[in-house]
Chain A
């Protein structure tokens, strides 16, 4: 134990005595680690932002969609058809699934009569599509029993409707045809503005209460599909299985397909950024090696004196190596802390939110580990060469120098 502690104590003493010179040498390493960790951390968060942005429109990366492709008798109600399909989905142990029923309704607004896209969904839709109201709340199972259907609207729809009071002020929705009965609905939640998904006024209501909406009794008014969020590695198997069991049912024939595509493009971008950061790190390491070599030559006499007092070659090697490693680990820690502080700074997180990050992820642990590991590796590499040179110093020549 003393054999390990003594070189560390010695390395610390060396760093303390030469802190000015060493700090200058380590600026490059700290900066490199800062960039490496920052790029990896920000890249990870940016990736999450893009992923979430994509998922808001296309669903999670591994969503399986089930579509009605034909067949089925008209004698079955929508509820009966849902029961047949959802039973098969639930049998596979899938936790998050939703029905998606699309229709169009009209509303009287200050700008005249406007068409709003209305989707009947289940509560899990919010998890699958990362939907989170800015104010109010999302749809719950109990909402399908309300007398006045509850709707959640996006920002454009909320503005069109004249910003009605949440949960209390009824709005009137009309069907596409003029003779259909109007329905009084209540806005219970508003989604945050998002330029990437706010293509037009959109509203969501509970799938169980979509039948009460105007125009839903018209033939062909409903386009129904089902979506399930499954583990990525199981998506293909789930898709195949559902296609198989739902190919011929009393409700007709269904096909299942993986809905979302992986974001390969972003991974390439992130790898390119990491490659740039590593190149910077190598440059920092080369600078450190250079300074370490000069330092060892400057310390020839001191090393000779230490060896004359019993320091073995191995001890000198380990001591010089430890000086480098201790210094770069400290520099790396500073670089990592700087990168975390920057990426988590309010103006940066605001930027991430602005480009669509709903769930702000923590700073990627992998980036922190990579930063510290890179700093340690640089310390070992930058210290090894000077340490080898230090062990080859001849004691006699060193003392005389």
Chain B
């Protein structure tokens, strides 16, 4: 286990995190096991895995939507596990932005109203400046001229750009993207990811992307494979083999090699001039990988 940045408090730190549910048969289903992960400001982390591997559960835990059943989750150095739902909601609204696979825009609300929505739950200043801030963010994603269009009048790429604008309008410190390109064609998906990456980098926000697309994962500084609830750094042999064999991951063997060799993984230098990220795969995950 490496100490990424001496003396600097990580934005997000997962320590031996576990999420289990009790089945009707009274048996326990372990969705996530022993997850160790550290995310710092400016990090761009990708988590790949096939359907049912626990990716979305992990994202929900990172986004303070769900609660772990074991381990610790530190946000800005503070254990948020025992915070009330209301405190977690405020924390989520203030520091975390979500981008969903199906965009999840509010129907019958214009693009502008969708982007303004998070500001309704912000500070008084954010509330009263909501329209101006939303317009600035729409302008940032190139949709200022479509601000008054309903989502149904926008293309898939435009809808996801609106979703990106909505996720970023409160200047979050952590952006969680759940299959952000899952509903887009390859070209549009690349454009959206480039935009997301660019804005996240500009605002020094950490970006955690959950995806099954290795091309998307390759854009990150670090990538992890979530396999049967256990997180593996992509550089491990286990992860490479699992990735190649995984059904449902949109990639070929060559892309797996590219992902592993392109500097994505533990102790890999940061791309695009960001600070070097640290990877802390759990001992258990590392052990599994070994």
Do A and B come together as binding partners? Answer: yes
Of A1, A2, A10, A399, the contact of B100 (CB 8 Å cutoff): A399
Interface SS of chain B: helix, strand, loop or mixed?
helix
Mark A12-23 against chain B: 1 for CB-CB distance below 8 A, else 0: 010001100000
Where the two chains meet, the residues of B that have a C-beta atom closer than 8 Å to any C-beta of A are 60, 63, 65-66, 85-86, 89-90, 92-94, 97-98, 100, 104, 106-109, 113, 117-118, 120-124, 127-128, 166, 170
Complex Cα distance, B204 from A139, in Å, reads 93
Where the two chains meet, the residues of A that have a C-beta atom closer than 8 Å to any C-beta of B are 1-2, 5-6, 9-10, 13, 17-18, 301-302, 305-315, 395-396, 399
* Cβ of A296 to closest chain B Cβ, rounded Å: 15
B86 touches A313 (CB 8 A): yes
Of A301, A310, A313, A395, the contact of B94 (CB 8 Å cutoff): A310
Residue of B nearest to A7 (CB): B120
Known: A17-B108, A313-B85. A2 touches B124 (CB 8 A): yes
Interface SS of chain A: helix, strand, loop or mixed?
helix
* Cβ of B80 to closest chain A Cβ, rounded Å: 14
Chain A residues positioned under 8 Å from B166 (CB to CB): 309
Residue of A nearest to B66 (CB): A396
6 cross-chain CB contacts under 8 A:
A1-B124, A5-B127, A307-B89, A308-B98, A309-B93, A310-B121
Chain B residues positioned under 8 Å from A315 (CB to CB): 121
B106 touches A310 (CB 8 A): no
Residue of A nearest to B63 (CB): A308
Chain B residues positioned under 8 Å from A309 (CB to CB): 92-93, 97-98, 117-118, 121, 166
B92 touches A308 (CB 8 A): yes
A2 touches B127 (CB 8 A): yes
* Cβ of A37 to closest chain B Cβ, rounded Å: 33
Complex Cα distance, B92 from A311, in Å, reads 9
A311 touches B127 (CB 8 A): no
B118 touches A310 (CB 8 A): yes
B86 touches A17 (CB 8 A): no
A9 touches B109 (CB 8 A): no
* Cβ of A297 to closest chain B Cβ, rounded Å: 15
A308 touches B85 (CB 8 A): no
A311 touches B128 (CB 8 A): no
Top-3 shortest CB links A-B: A310-B93, A310-B121, A2-B124
